[in-house]
Amino acid sequence: MIRRAWMLPLWLAAASAQAGGHFDVDDAGTLDPGRCQYEFWGQRARSLQTTLWHLGPACRVGPVELGLNIDRISVAGEHTYVFGPQVKWTFLGQAPEARWSAALSLSASGARPRHGGRTGGQFVMPVSWRATDSLTVHANLGTDWAVGTGLRTGRGGLAGEWALNSTVSLIGERNRAFGLWTSRVGTRFSITPMISIDLSVARTGPEGIRTVTVGLNHEFGR
């Protein structure tokens, strides 16, 4: 029973290994040369007595963005860590004015202490379409390998990002990973051009597991 209780949080942690903040559907962009960032966010699923803390530093190195995902998951008084590297390459539409852009993202993740013993991972192709100056649509297609079990499942999702002005954006998405659908709505507040705050609520799976997430994103030069 204890191992089964850990399964969903570990899968959700693997699904969260993205370079675009805590939202499930990633964009196709990468950092500009000479730039770095870190993402720090917390997620709470009250019905599961589960809390997830995530730290994700990343830097542009040559043509790719290299990152590290570190997650601390607490379930009913117990906790574990999920961590691993990530590489992302935007192979189409790197220019800021590009209407279409596409990337490839690959990550690996393992848990300590081990729950099931197998390393997880994720391969995703994000595609972004800047429909208008204020509306961008993101689509994802890829595969996950679950932390602990190694179970391979497909993933895919669609998101819309609407910039109300230079400070506030609204984000809505629908994503399927590990056989579970998640619907999420949220907002992004840009405190400065390099610092933003994310806030979202989501429902996952047939039980409608609700999560609330708050995150901080900070980009800087190295």
pLDDT per residue, tens digit, the chain (222 aa), is 334 444 455 555 555 555 467 899 999 999 999 999 999 999 998 887 888 899 999 999 999 999 999 988 888 778 888 888 999 999 999 888 899 999 999 998 887 755 556 788 899 999 999 999 999 999 999 998 877 777 899 999 999 999 999 999 999 999 998 888 999 999 999 999 999 999 999 998 888 889 999 999 999 997
Tell me the pLDDT tens digit for each residue of 69-106: 998 888 877 888 888 899 999 999 988 889 999 999 99
How far are the Cα atoms of 10, 70, 216 from residue 150, in angstroms, in the given order? 11, 19, 30
**Burial of 4 from C-beta contacts in 10 A (0-12 / 13-18 / 19+):** exposed
- N-term to C-term CA, the chain: 47
pLDDT at 209: 87
Name residues whose C-beta falls within 8 Å of residue 18's C-beta, 6 or more positions apart in sequence. Answer: 24, 26, 105, 124
pLDDT at 222: 79
Amino acid in position 36: C
* Counts for the chain of helices (H) and strands (E), in that order: 1, 12
Q: Quote the distance between the C-alpha of residue 219 and its chain's center.
A: 16
69-107 burial code (b ≥16 CB/10 A, e <16): bebbbebeeeebebbbebbbebeebeeeebeebbbbbeb
Domains of the chain: 2-221 (2.40.160.40)
User: pTM to 2 decimals?
Assistant: 0.90
Q: Are strands 100-112 and 195-204 parallel, antiparallel or unpaired?
A: unpaired
Tell me the pLDDT tens digit for each residue of 144-166: 887 777 789 999 999 999 999 99
